[in-house]
Chains A and B, each alone.
Chain A
Amino acid sequence: MKHRSGRLCLVGAMLWAALAIPAVRHVLESTMTLQMLIQIPLLALAGGWLAQGAPGWLVRRLHAWNHRGISGLLLASLTGMVWMLPLAMDAALDDPQVRLAKFLSVPLLIGAPIALSWPRAGFVVRGVVLVELIATMMRLGWLYLISPIRLCSNYLLDDQQRLGKILLVAGFAILLVLVWKLVWGHVDSGRADREDARIGSD
């Protein structure tokens, strides 16, 4: 298990480094769609894998501040809100300091907290996060589709509208998968929930 975590951490570091290579970065930032749906999620994934190699003492200290994963998921959501703003995506292309902030904050403040918090979260916390994720994808998709102006000065309107369509489709797809899984699949209601399985109300 420890061996696997170390390997994942290494893969995460390599992915992080690969995404920072100018040629890769240039390709992934060439369209709004690629930046938002590929580069930023991959940076978060890199952070998530990196977190697997976090030393035990650090994880234990973080857990003390992360009741049922709520603090970590809240931190990831707030950071995610920043990188959903077209203004922030634009600035990450134009300003090297903002770019550095993106490359540090997305893995460390989105990916890693999610990786450390998700297993600790119960069904309700996971459910709220997923419902809000779907709602946010639909809202952003709708906004990008109807905006009469370019929201990012670096990207064209058709790119913005394509991203809007993809976000709407992805939001519906995630919703369908979740509904299917909840109605017919095997559902793990989370470690936090498994710990208290007694019937009743308290």
Chain B
Amino acid sequence: MAALTMYPDSERLDGGNRVAFNLYIITAVTLFVLMMLLGLTMRLGQATWLSVPPDLFYRILSMHGAGMVGTAALATTAVMWFFLRKYVRLHLWAFLTNYVMFMLGALCIIFAIFVDGYGALWTFLYPLPVHGMGLWSPNAAALFMLGYLLIGVGMLVFYLDAAAGIIRVHGNLGRALGLQWLFRGTIDPDHPKAVVASTMVVIANTLGILAGAVVLVMGLVNIYYPEMALNALVAKNLIYWFGHMYINATIYMGVIAVYELLARYSGKPYPISRPFLWSWAVSTLFVIIVFPHHLMMDYAEPPWLVVMGQVVSWGAGFPVFLVTVYGALTNIYRSNMRWTMPSRLLILSMFGWAAGIVPAILDGTVRINLVMHNTQWVPGHFHFYLLLGVLPMALALMFHVIGQRADAPPNTAADRLGFPVYLIGGLIFVLAFLDAGHLSVARRMATHLPAWTATDEVGSIGAILVVLGMLYFAIRITVGLLKAPARGEPHGGTANTAG
């Protein structure tokens, strides 16, 4: 179980580790602000408060989608690395390789979009990338896909290094997941939750990256040899298998921060349990096979896959989420929680994940999907759990680390102001999306009908607040990370002992 020392020595960031961590985090918060500005531009355009030509809109949408998912992965990979290195041996070169490949891939994507005009969205759904209709060239589509491939290779190297470390300590991935304790035996109370979550991510997302590597290269072949026509439905299945696991991995990497940090701020131990192991084991399987819920509107999709997508999406969302949220609530109950920025963000992340998952599960139901899937209900649900769930998980670790530099968890007056600005802005922003979905406002449309713009205007106001909040967080975190550690060396500090 997590030690109740606020800043244990095993989490010390020295030399290359500190440089690498700072690179990840400063890059991530900078990209988050930039990508949010792109998102705000789109909402302002839909609200008719800003003129955004449709071709530019789809380029911005492509950049925002790919960029946000990639940045979320970058930030939460840093979360996984930060905690997992305490329990298994990780190599800094693998962590840095992932960073370098991510940056190279990002450059390819940025060039493809803003120089070559690519605008076929993150999904690069076949055959759209090869039909730019004069707006972008096949080379732009190829460069975009190459960017994805580079990012995937970097991630694969990091996961393989993590898998090697986990296997060296635990023997195999099954034992690391705790499968040996599902039915019997006394669970080792020191078996780290971070290892369980990391193992799940390694298994699922490596399979996702494999699917992506296959479909991306086939897409590249098709760009230069158009006679090699792909089966569009097979390509879409592989794209969503890859995309679903990639974005879900960000939640499961990010939640490690909750497992590791919450107990320190509540002052109460957060022990591992059999339901916890069961939930992660089940989710490992479910997250791999749930992807067909993205393809319920594809009438040619084999019915058994659609049925599987629906049934599993009802089950997939619950195990880890329920166990984690229940565990977090019981942990903070009567704990005299030490309310600082990290603890506020941890609890916000539980709320964002919990609330965001409900519209997701609704949309994973065939009858509802038929009505809601092409509406703004969908961006409503994924912005809910990404903006108010995943991002706060990563931000919690970032604030925790800058607290280490400043000798205490951050809790300035500006922090106390920035947090509600972000929270209220986020709620306005996502509820505007969900309400637009309820009103059947179509998603992915550059130009909106006059009857739709009311929710766009409300959403824009929310987005402005979110950008302001995130801009403050980014500056605060960057300055905090670049500051020299207090009294020369990080120290153990004290966890909350009030409870």
* Interface of A: prevailing SS: helix
Q: Name the A residues within 8 Å of B173 (CB-CB).
A: 182-183
Contact B213 A135 (CB under 8 A): yes
Q: What's the least CB distance linking B217 to chain A, in Å?
A: 5
Q: List B106-147 residues whose CB lies under 8 Å from chain A.
A: none
How far is B220's CA from A135's CA once the two chains are assembled, in angstroms? Answer: 14
Q: What's the least CB distance linking B265 to chain A, in Å?
A: 25
Contact B214 A146 (CB under 8 A): no
How far is B160's CA from A149's CA once the two chains are assembled, in angstroms? Answer: 38
- The 4 nearest A-B residue pairs measured at CB: A123-B164, A127-B160, A201-B85, A124-B160
Contact B169 A185 (CB under 8 A): no
- Whether A22 sits at the interface, judged by CB under 8 Å, is no
Interface string of B186-225 (1 = CB under 8 A from A): 0000000000000000010011011001100110010000
Please name the residue on chain B nearest to A193 by beta carbon: B164
How far is B214's CA from A84's CA once the two chains are assembled, in angstroms? Answer: 16
How far is B164's CA from A187's CA once the two chains are assembled, in angstroms? Answer: 9
A: number of interface residues (CB 8 Å)? 37
- Whether A202 sits at the interface, judged by CB under 8 Å, is yes
Q: Name the A residues within 8 Å of B163 (CB-CB).
A: 123, 127, 182
How far is B172's CA from A182's CA once the two chains are assembled, in angstroms? Answer: 6
Contacting residue for A131 out of B210, B227, B228, CB 8 A: B210
How far is B85's CA from A190's CA once the two chains are assembled, in angstroms? Answer: 20
* Interface of B: prevailing SS: helix
Q: Name the B residues within 8 Å of A124 (CB-CB).
A: 91, 94, 157, 160-161, 164
Q: List A158-186 residues whose CB lies under 8 Å from chain B.
A: 175, 179, 181-186
How far is B81's CA from A201's CA once the two chains are assembled, in angstroms? Answer: 9
Q: Name the B residues within 8 Å of A181 (CB-CB).
A: 172
Contact B167 A182 (CB under 8 A): yes
* Interface, chain B (partner A; CB < 8 A): 16-17, 81, 85-92, 94-95, 153, 156-157, 160-161, 163-165, 167-169, 171-174, 177, 179, 203, 206-207, 209-210, 213-214, 217-218, 221, 227-231
- Whether A95 sits at the interface, judged by CB under 8 Å, is no
- Whether A61 sits at the interface, judged by CB under 8 Å, is no
Q: What's the least CB distance linking B359 to chain A, in Å?
A: 32
* Contact A199:B156 (CB < 8 A) given known A146-B228, A186-B171: no
**Interface-central residue, B87, B164, B179, by most chain A CB under 10 Å:** B164
Please name the residue on chain B nearest to A190 by beta carbon: B164
Q: What's the least CB distance linking A139 to chain B, in Å?
A: 5
Contact B172 A184 (CB under 8 A): yes
Contact A146 B210 (CB under 8 A): no
Q: What's the least CB distance linking A67 to chain B, in Å?
A: 12
How far is B206's CA from A132's CA once the two chains are assembled, in angstroms? Answer: 12
Please name the residue on chain A nearest to B10 by beta carbon: A200
* Contact A123:B174 (CB < 8 A) given known A199-B89, A201-B90, A201-B91: no
* Contact A139:B214 (CB < 8 A) given known A127-B163, A199-B87: yes
Contacts A128-B157, A142-B218 known; 10 new A-B pairs at CB < 8 A: A127-B163, A135-B217, A142-B214, A146-B228, A149-B227, A183-B203, A184-B172, A190-B164, A202-B17, A202-B92
Q: List A84-134 residues whose CB lies under 8 Å from chain B.
A: 122-124, 127-128, 131-132, 134
- Whether A30 sits at the interface, judged by CB under 8 Å, is no
How far is B211's CA from A175's CA once the two chains are assembled, in angstroms? Answer: 12
How far is B159's CA from A131's CA once the two chains are assembled, in angstroms? Answer: 12
How far is B160's CA from A182's CA once the two chains are assembled, in angstroms? Answer: 11
Q: Name the A residues within 8 Å of B231 (CB-CB).
A: 146
* Contact A201:B172 (CB < 8 A) given known A149-B227, A183-B203: no
How far is B212's CA from A138's CA once the two chains are assembled, in angstroms? Answer: 12
Q: Name the B residues within 8 Å of A199 (CB-CB).
A: 85-89, 165, 169
How far is B17's CA from A95's CA once the two chains are assembled, in angstroms? Answer: 56
- Whether A64 sits at the interface, judged by CB under 8 Å, is no
* Contact A189:B164 (CB < 8 A) given known A134-B210, A142-B214, A146-B230: yes
Q: What's the least CB distance linking A84 to chain B, in Å?
A: 13
* Contact A143:B228 (CB < 8 A) given known A127-B163, A135-B210: yes
* Contact A183:B86 (CB < 8 A) given known A135-B210, A139-B214, A189-B168: no
Contact B89 A128 (CB under 8 A): no
Contact A128 B228 (CB under 8 A): no
- Whether A153 sits at the interface, judged by CB under 8 Å, is no
Contact A139 B217 (CB under 8 A): yes
Q: Name the A residues within 8 Å of B81 (CB-CB).
A: 201
Q: What's the least CB distance linking B278 to chain A, in Å?
A: 16
Contact B172 A183 (CB under 8 A): yes
* Contact A123:B17 (CB < 8 A) given known A142-B218, A147-B228: no
Contact A200 B89 (CB under 8 A): yes
Q: Name the A residues within 8 Å of B230 (CB-CB).
A: 142, 146
* Contact A143:B221 (CB < 8 A) given known A134-B210, A186-B172, A197-B89: yes
How far is B466's CA from A51's CA once the two chains are assembled, in angstroms? Answer: 62
How far is B287's CA from A99's CA once the two chains are assembled, in angstroms? Answer: 48
Q: What's the least CB distance linking B86 to chain A, in Å?
A: 7
Q: What's the least CB distance linking A45 to chain B, in Å?
A: 26
Contact B167 A187 (CB under 8 A): yes
Q: Name the B residues within 8 Å of A122 (CB-CB).
A: 164
Q: Name the B residues within 8 Å of A197 (CB-CB).
A: 89, 168
How far is B81's CA from A131's CA once the two chains are assembled, in angstroms? Answer: 22
Q: Name the A residues within 8 Å of B85 (CB-CB).
A: 199-201
- Whether A148 sits at the interface, judged by CB under 8 Å, is yes
Q: What's the least CB distance linking B49 to chain A, in Å?
A: 46
Can you list 12 residue pairs at the A/B interface with Cβ under 8 Å? A123-B167, A127-B163, A128-B157, A131-B213, A135-B210, A143-B218, A143-B228, A182-B203, A189-B164, A197-B89, A199-B86, A201-B92
Q: Name the A residues within 8 Å of B209 (CB-CB).
A: 131
Q: Name the A residues within 8 Å of B157 (CB-CB).
A: 124, 128
- Whether A60 sits at the interface, judged by CB under 8 Å, is no
Q: What's the least CB distance linking A140 to chain B, in Å?
A: 10
Contact B164 A148 (CB under 8 A): no
Q: What's the least CB distance linking A161 to chain B, in Å?
A: 14
Q: What's the least CB distance linking B342 to chain A, in Å?
A: 22
Q: Name the A residues within 8 Å of B86 (CB-CB).
A: 199
Contact B221 A201 (CB under 8 A): no
Please name the residue on chain A nearest to B12 by beta carbon: A200
Contact A202 B218 (CB under 8 A): no
Q: What's the least CB distance linking B220 to chain A, in Å?
A: 10
Q: What's the least CB distance linking A175 to chain B, in Å?
A: 7
- Whether A4 sits at the interface, judged by CB under 8 Å, is no
